[in-house]
Structure 1
Amino acid sequence: MNYAFQVKKLSTLITFYTTNSSFHVKQLLENPTSEFKQSAYKLFHEIFKHTLPVDFQHACPVDDIFNSVSSSLDLINQSEVALIEATQKWWKEWYFVLTMEHSLSHEKEDAPYSFLSKKMHHPMKRHEMSHYAHLFTILPMPISNVCAKTGDIIRVNQRFIDVFGYTVDDLPNLEQWWVNAYPDPHYRESVKKTWQAALEVGNETGQDIPAHDYHVTCKNGNTITMEVSGINLGDEYIAVFNDATKRLEDQNILRDMAFLDSLTQIANRRRFDEKLSKEFEKAVECGDDLAIILIDIDHFKLFNDRYGHVEGDLCLYNVAQAIACTVSRTEDFVARYGGEEFVVLLPQTDKQGALFIAEHIQKAIEELRIPHEDSFTGYLTLSMGINAIGEDDNCDQKEFVKAADSALYYSKRQGRNCLALS
């Protein structure tokens, strides 16, 4: 079937809700009866109410539809990506339920089913899951059927075995699943609490068991990140596994793009503000040292005026990369602070340690030997301001940065190309 018209309608739906703030989008996705989810189901039902395949060996068309939707959109907006991923997951689950209902139902009803309300109207509620063994063998994602009362794993499908390597003989019950899939005892307890909370939400609302990401250890020892949701059936439930690796990779790429300064290819101010909040809070709680270096390129406006903005951009890139290469510890952090200013954050480092790093940065810039005729040295130079806090210091985050900024201002008043401690 050609879904071009439906793809267009789905793309329009996604685009419409993308205009909301990211906070509002998050609320829409967390609310099981949200207007967006209702609209998504209405469109789903419109497409599939008369088009379910007679031969259930046919592949689920949902992925093809969403591939077309993704191709039609730019997907540069995180809210857009989140809406598409959530809708695709819902459609897969709804399609799965409809196919099972369609294949086993003995009577046809005129009214469309609602998967979003009225627990007993859910088409899955009207059949014993023992009738679905055949369908379990052909579903495209890992599925397990669990008895909610006893914790026994009733059956798993072939895809479950292919992905995880475990059979029902390996996993007769949930306790064995917890041990095998989550060998680390601390993580196992965390997973069990998260899953139990999700089950309770499903029971209380009469809706699907909400999805969470879990790091599942396979029989061969490999670990896969899976998004696990479920269909609540009262005494039983179906756990549905979707590989989250690609989604998380895409999210990380988007996150990196959002926090990367495109010109200098180091972290931007937004990422620095986030990092500073975490490191400052950690330093205060643990009584650790934390140092900051604010860096400014001397006479950069004159450099731009003389050499042009193309050379100015190249200069910013080279300086940023030189700083990043000099600050080599994994825990250290370099960002573009704004304009021709950069910032270095040094956890577990006192003022003397920060001064040592600053001197190495100064030397690295000298070795670049970037010509600057308006500098008294004839080459590009930096001014830096340094501040640090220790266990006995009592200042807030704003004062911490302000002290480094004051030191930077002092170094410029001293003639530039120098370092100053707060």
Structure 2
Amino acid sequence: MTNPEGSNKQMITEMMTAHEPQDTLVLIVDDVATNIQILADTLKDKHHIIFATSGSEALKMAARHEPDLILLDVMMPDIDGFAVCKQLKEDPRLQDIPVIFVTALSEVEDETKGLDLGAVDYITKPVSPPIVRARVRNHLQLKYQRDLLRRIALLDGLTGIANRRHFDDVYEREWRRAQRQGTSLSLVLADIDFFKGYNDHYGHQAGDACLRNVARGVCEQIHRPADLAARFGGEEFICMLPDTPTEGAEEVAERIREAVEALALPHAASAIAPHVTLSLGVATALEPVTTSAEALLKLADEQLYTAKKAGRNQVRTAILPAGSVTS
């Protein structure tokens, strides 16, 4: 587990010192085998190469492999390159993949059309291997830096874990997936007990350090790739647990509570313990197709409130009834 406190600085340093990305995957699309061979021989020393010989095959390959860059011919027998590019740019998963047209069409109108459709570059045949290598390298570097900036934008600036915007985006996708597949989805909402008193007693700089330590404690209890821990706002943290029934979510919440308590961060302003503690609310949707994402969030918040009313430093759990919606 990386230290959340240093993650922003580390990624910014990586971005500023980025060289050519390694292990990149390039999709070459051309209906002429010799053209594919020339491009593959030009790039194979530094990139992994896959290829397609038609527009329809290119779309399937792009969806399956999500390459880092696509070299795309225009004139193909089934779907031409312009149509392929248009479909790629309409797909949210594929729209950020750089597309370079490699074609015998050399008219200004053709190049303009390709760039207007979203391609990042236009190379005319016969190709010059040094030019191809340079342009591929440059566009991969730009993509790498854009991806880093996008990742940084999804992190909480103080703690280095996912921010509310990232959580909202992922939660929406996972909710829809749970609805399609009929699987359960659980949320764990946590709040630092008496955090205002902590800030008043120790100062905001110490409060920031406390938030970073708690964020680390929360993240260390999230083990599965699909699970997500985020700063929800202020001193609140939230964990999204796909495919997780109530018992599993309650177990995760209890682990988080114990992990933060084990940090033994002094809290002289707490009314319940001499150290920092968490109150947590757990909510599970067993039938997402008949409920709403907003209702599950509301239920988690209600359970958090119940935990606080019951004395804090504890977990309270509920299952979202079928048909629940927010008002």
Change (3 A) 1:287 1:164: same
Q: Is the 8 A contact 1:387 1:421 kept in 2?
A: yes
Contact kept, 8 Å, 2:187 with 2:300, in 1: the verdict is yes
TM-score by length of 2: 0.64
The runs of at least 4 consecutive aligned structure 1 residues that moved more than 3 Å come to: 151-161, 183-186, 188-198, 209-213, 236-242
User: For the Cα contact (< 8 Å) 2:98–2:143, is it kept in 1?
Assistant: no
Shift of 1:198: 5.3
Q: Read off the aligned partner of 2:268 and give its amino acid letter.
A: E
Letter in 2 for 1:294: L
1:312 correspondence with 2:224: no
Q: Could you say which residue in structure 2 is the equivalent of 1:398? A: 294
| 1:152 Cα offset (Å) | 4.1
Name 1:178's counterpart in structure 2.
52
Alpha-carbon distance in 1 for matches of 2:260, 2:144: 35
Query: Distance in 1 between the 2:186 and 2:219 partners?
Result: 16
Provide the residue aligned with 2:276 in structure 1.
380
For 1:21-49, what per-residue CA distance to the aligned partner results, in whole angstroms no more than 9, with x for missing partners? xxxxxxxxxxxxxxxxxxxxxxxxxxxxx
Structure 1 equivalent of residue 19 of structure 2: none
Aligned 8 A contact 1:211 1:228 in 2: no
Match of 1:187 among 37, 61, 65: 61
Mapping of 1:129-278 within 5 angstroms?
Answer: 151-152=31-32, 161-164=41-44, 178=52, 186-187=60-61, 197=79, 199-201=81-83, 227-231=99-103, 232-233=105-106, 238=124, 242-243=135-136, 244-278=139-173
Q: 1:198 to 1:310 in 2, by over 3 A?
A: farther
Counterpart residue number, 2:115 = none
Higher mean alpha-carbon deviation, 261-270 vs 410-419, is at 410-419
CA contact (8 A) 1:198 1:210 kept: no
Pick the structure with more helix per residue: 1
Query: Helix, strand or coil for the counterpart of 1:406?
Result: helix
Task: Say whether residues 1:418 and 2:298 are aligned partners.
Answer: no
Query: Would the alpha carbon gap of residues 228 and 365 (structure 1) be closer, same or farther in structure 2, given more than 3 Å must change?
Result: same
Tell me, yes or no, if the aligned pair for 1:212 and 1:228 is still in contact at 8 Å: no
In 2, the alpha carbon distance for the partners of 1:333 and 1:266 equals 9
Q: 1:339 to 1:162 in 2, by over 3 A?
A: same
Unaligned runs of 5+ in 1: 1-75, 77-141, 166-175, 203-208, 214-224
Superposition map of 1:103-142 within 5 A: none
Q: d(CA) in 2 for partners of 1:257 and 1:198?
A: 36
Counterpart contact for 1:292–1:404, Cα < 8 Å: yes
Work out whether 1:343 is the aligned partner of 2:238.
yes
- Aligned residue identity for 2:284: A
After TM superposition, list the pairs within 5 Å mapping 1:86-101 onto structure 2: none
Rg larger in structure: 1
Kept in 1: contact 2:278–2:314 (CA 8 A): yes
Cα distance in 1 for partners of 2:51, 2:274 equals 69
Gaps of 5+ in 2: 1-11, 13-25, 65-69, 90-96, 111-122, 319-327
* 2:261 is aligned with 1:389: no
SS at structure 1 position matched to 2:159: coil
Shift in Å at residue 245 of structure 1? 2.8
Name the CA distance, whole Å, in 2 between partners of 1:279 and 1:373.
Answer: 40
Tell me by how many angstroms 1:326 deviates.
Answer: 1.2
Deviations, residues 162-196 of structure 1 (Å, cap 9, x unaligned): 3247xxxxxxxxxx9636xxx99952798999976
Spell out, residue by residue over 1:348-387, the C-alpha distance to the aligned partner (whole angstroms, 9 max, x if none). Answer: 1011100000111111011100111122211111011110
Matched AA of 2:230: A
Structure 2 contact 72–99 (Cα < 8 Å) conserved:
no
TM-score relative to the length of structure 1? 0.51
Deviations 1:258-316 (A, max 9, x none): 00011101000000000100001100110011100000001000000000011000000
Question: What is the distance in 2 between the residues matched to 1:159 and 1:192?
Answer: 9
Compare 290-299 and 238-247 and name the one that shifted more: 238-247
User: Amino acid of the residue matched to residue 228 of structure 1?
Assistant: I
Match of 1:21 in 2: none
Distance 1:365 1:417 in 2: 10
Any idea what SS the aligned residue of 1:329 has?
coil
Deviation at 1:331, TM superposition (A): 1.3
> 1: CA distance between counterparts of 2:223 and 2:37?
49
- Whose RCO is larger (CA < 8 A, sep 6+)? 2
**1:264–1:317 Cα contact (<8 Å) kept:** yes
2 CA distance for matches of 1:310 and 1:188? 47
**Structure 1 residue 369 corresponds to structure 2 residue 243:** no
Tell me whether 1:297 sits opposite 2:218 in the alignment.
no
